[in-house]
Amino acid sequence: MADGAMGTALYARGFSYRSCFEELNEAHPEVVEALHREYIAAGAQVIETNSFGANPYRLAEHGFESRVREINRAAARIARRAAGDAVFVAGSVGPLNRMLEPIGTLTLSEARAAFRIQVTGLLEGGVDLFIVETMSSLAEICEALTAIRELCDLPIVASMTFTEEGKTLVGDKPGEVKRVLLDAGANVVGANCSVGPQPMLDVIERMGGDVLLAAQPNAGLPRLVGGRYVYLTSPQYFADYALKFAEAGVCLVGGCCGTTPDHIRAIAKAVKGQKPNVAREIVISDLEVEVPVETTAGGVAASDFRADLGKRFLISVEIDPPRSINPEPFIRHAQMLKANGVDLINVADSPLARSRLSALAMSHLIRREAGMEVILHLSCRDRNALALQSELLGAHALGVTSVLAVTGDPPAVGDYPFAKAVFELDSISLCRLVSQLNLGKDLTGRNMEEPTRFLLGVGVNPTATDRVLEFERFHKKIDAGAQFAFTQPLFDRDTLDKFLNDVASFCTIPIFVGIMPLRSAKHAEFIHNEIPDMFVPEDIRERMRNSGTEGAKVGVEIAQKFLLDVKPIVQGAYLMPPFNKFEMAVEVIRVLEERMKDKG
């Protein structure tokens, strides 16, 4: 048993993310030691030093680059004091937060030298082993392993981050990562951070083989609640996955961002007496259940969104731009969707802070090549007010005049966690900016040559943890000029009815209900437990658990029933087909055509 989060735990105790957590080893050692003791009391047998970012480059951001050895030495001594002789102390070594050559300017030898300074301090403080973690670059983690091996022969756990697609940021597969890390001197290999338990289990299974494995997932994805980012995955869900990790061969299990002593306590209770199944045969099934799609002969004319909004029931389907420079497959998807009765395509702006092709470029290409109305998601995460206005003017010039204003997910949850967030505006102030442009005035209030004609949409989450705050913000978005709203995915009519009743006093704009067809029981559990503020009712999860190999078919049937149930009370539907399975969206909306035939 390893421990849980250090950084997010200190954040929960009131220390700002802008502060230097590692400097707390000297400024507030009692706080760090108390946290170590909480994890030990919860059942941790290995605790990590508070030294994740205690390297010269990250400490330089706070002016502490001259105290690298001292801060690391203090981190190890605090942990050693809390651990005594009964618990192992692992020296935590994280990434340098600098791009290495050839893309960046930091050389490999400079990286190794930086790691050597940190490792020296941790050795002076008396660590028992090292955990090199949250690495996204094989080149960087190998320099860290080499630096440790040049200084000692203590055990090393080498852990990298993987995306939800089961690969590293640059596309390395788990099996390849395992081989490289073992060759570089690691004793234990594994994964940590970035994703929750379910996608991490897929990575661990693909590492496979008779080797020692480690898993320390996040507590799902963070959610902004009351001005602070919190993680909402429950300790019991973590405990359930701890048993699955043991079955997959994991011998060191713990938690990363968002995990608390309660998570570790639940895991420890669940795995007590279990032995990791390290000598097993791993069979990975990538079987996809395809839903047949027949294209409507002759196609369908493009919707006039401005004219049709609020006057007839509209269907929009979300497309995430590709991670590459090739948009062709997604344009073909849009053409197929249009031919099967979809009215609109909405294009996400690097959702979950995962870097993708420009949403504006993708919107323009779909509009031009597929002849469809497009709704551009515009995020405040990556642009200041000046850049947002420029993006809006550029979109308008290209004919993309429907916009969904979103605040955006923080970079910490994405594939470039070292990226700097902007958030100069949020979705409410972005609405005000768009409305001002529609009045013919720019950021400064100066008159423009002519006003814009944007249709402005916003998001709203009927199942938000803080419903009062969510609905207050929704009210402000409407007051700021929102003309339509997309909800988060919902799965039952009761939730939608309650939401519409709660906002009835101020909501005068068309509502598009979010619908996500489920693909499997595993998918349903992931959505319910690892995606913040999303709720899949127990009866639906039970139905998916009983679906066997027909999960996708049952998921479509559930979505079809929900669509028919809610069509009379909303103005449109917003479909989010999982894993680019756009044929599932077509199957869901086909029920509308069938219903019309029945009535005819």
pLDDT digit string (tens) for 16-50?
877 899 999 999 999 999 999 999 999 999 999 99
Distances (CA, A) of 183 to 132, 189, 230, 276, 589: 15, 11, 37, 23, 52
Phi then psi dihedrals of residue 458, to 5 deg = -140, 165
pLDDT value at position 299? 34
CB 63 within 8 A of CB 105: no
Q: Count the residues in the chain.
A: 600
User: CB 30: neighbour CB atoms within 10 A?
Assistant: 9
pLDDT value at position 302? 47
Bridge partners (DSSP) of residue 447 are 441
The pairing of strands 228-231 and 222-225 is: antiparallel
Taking residues 219-232, what's their average pLDDT? 71
CB 239 within 8 A of CB 269: yes
Taking residues 459-472, what's their average pLDDT? 92
Residue 197: which of 164, 230, 159, 170 has the closest Cα? 164
Q: What are the residue ranges spanned by the domains of the chain?
A: 7-271, 305-599
User: CB 109: neighbour CB atoms within 10 A?
Assistant: 10
Taking residues 236-262, what's their average pLDDT? 93
Residues contacting 112, CB < 8 A, separation 6+:
143, 144, 146, 147
Tell whether the model's pLDDT for residue 500 goes beyond 50: yes
pLDDT value at position 557? 96
Most confident residue range from 5-9, 68-72, 380-384: 68-72
> How sure is the predictor about 531, in pLDDT bands with cuts at 50, 70 and 90?
confident
Phi then psi dihedrals of residue 314, to 5 deg = -115, 150
The pairing of strands 572-575 and 511-515 is: parallel
Rounded to an integer, what distance in angstroms lies between the CA atom of residue 383 and that of residue 366? Answer: 23
Say which CATH architecture domain 305-599 belongs to: Alpha-Beta Barrel (3.20)
Rounded to an integer, what distance in angstroms lies between the CA atom of residue 455 and that of residue 376? Answer: 10
CB 476 within 8 A of CB 428: yes
pLDDT value at position 130? 98
pLDDT value at position 282? 43
Residues contacting 128, CB < 8 A, separation 6+:
88, 89, 90, 154, 155
pLDDT value at position 414? 64
> How sure is the predictor about 354, in pLDDT bands with cuts at 50, 70 and 90?
confident
Rounded to an integer, what distance in angstroms lies between the CA atom of residue 583 and that of residue 509? Answer: 30
Q: Which two tokens stand for residue 79?
A: 């942990």
Tell whether the model's pLDDT for residue 144 goes beyond 80: yes
Rounded to an integer, what distance in angstroms lies between the CA atom of residue 549 and that of residue 118? Answer: 50
- pLDDT tens digits, 276-301: 776 544 443 333 334 344 433 333 33
Tell whether the model's pLDDT for residue 420 goes beyond 90: no
Rounded to an integer, what distance in angstroms lies between the CA atom of residue 218 and that of residue 124? Answer: 30
Tell whether the model's pLDDT for residue 412 goes beyond 60: yes
Tell whether the model's pLDDT for residue 210 goes beyond 80: no
Mutual angle of helices 427-438 and 467-479, in 10-degree steps: 10
User: CB 514: neighbour CB atoms within 10 A?
Assistant: 23
Q: Of all residues in the chain, what percent carry a pLDDT higher than 90? A: 74
pLDDT value at position 417? 66
Taking residues 264-270, what's their average pLDDT? 94
CB 513 within 8 A of CB 570: yes
Residues contacting 89, CB < 8 A, separation 6+:
46, 47, 49, 76, 79, 80, 83, 126, 127, 128, 129
Would you call 405 helix, strand, or coil by DSSP? strand
The single-letter DSSP state of residue 567 is G
The single-letter DSSP state of residue 363 is H
Taking residues 395-417, what's their average pLDDT? 84
What's the longest Cα–Cα distance across the chain? 82
Compare 559 and 229 and report the one with higher pLDDT.
Answer: 559
pLDDT value at position 413? 64
Compare 286 and 309 and report the one with higher pLDDT.
Answer: 309
Which CATH code is given to the segment(s) 7-271? 3.20.20.330
pLDDT value at position 579? 86
Kind and range of the H or E element at 470? helix 467-479
Tell whether the model's pLDDT for residue 129 goes beyond 90: yes
Q: Which two tokens stand for residue 346?
A: 């909405």
Taking residues 140-162, what's their average pLDDT? 97
Kind and range of the H or E element at 83? helix 68-83
Distances (CA, A) of 80 to 122, 125, 600: 11, 8, 77
pLDDT value at position 31? 96
* Domains 7-271 and 305-599 alike in fold: yes
Taking residues 83-109, what's their average pLDDT? 91
The residue type of 592 is: L
The single-letter DSSP state of residue 296 is P
> How sure is the predictor about 532, in pLDDT bands with cuts at 50, 70 and 90?
confident
CB 362 within 8 A of CB 326: no
pLDDT value at position 34? 97
Q: What is the mean pLDDT of the chain?
A: 90
Tell whether the model's pLDDT for residue 223 goes beyond 80: no
Compare 52 and 168 and report the one with higher pLDDT.
Answer: 52
The pairing of strands 511-515 and 484-489 is: parallel
Q: Is the peptide bond before 102 cis (omega within 30 degrees of 0)?
A: yes
Taking residues 343-353, what's their average pLDDT? 89
Would you call 459 helix, strand, or coil by DSSP? strand
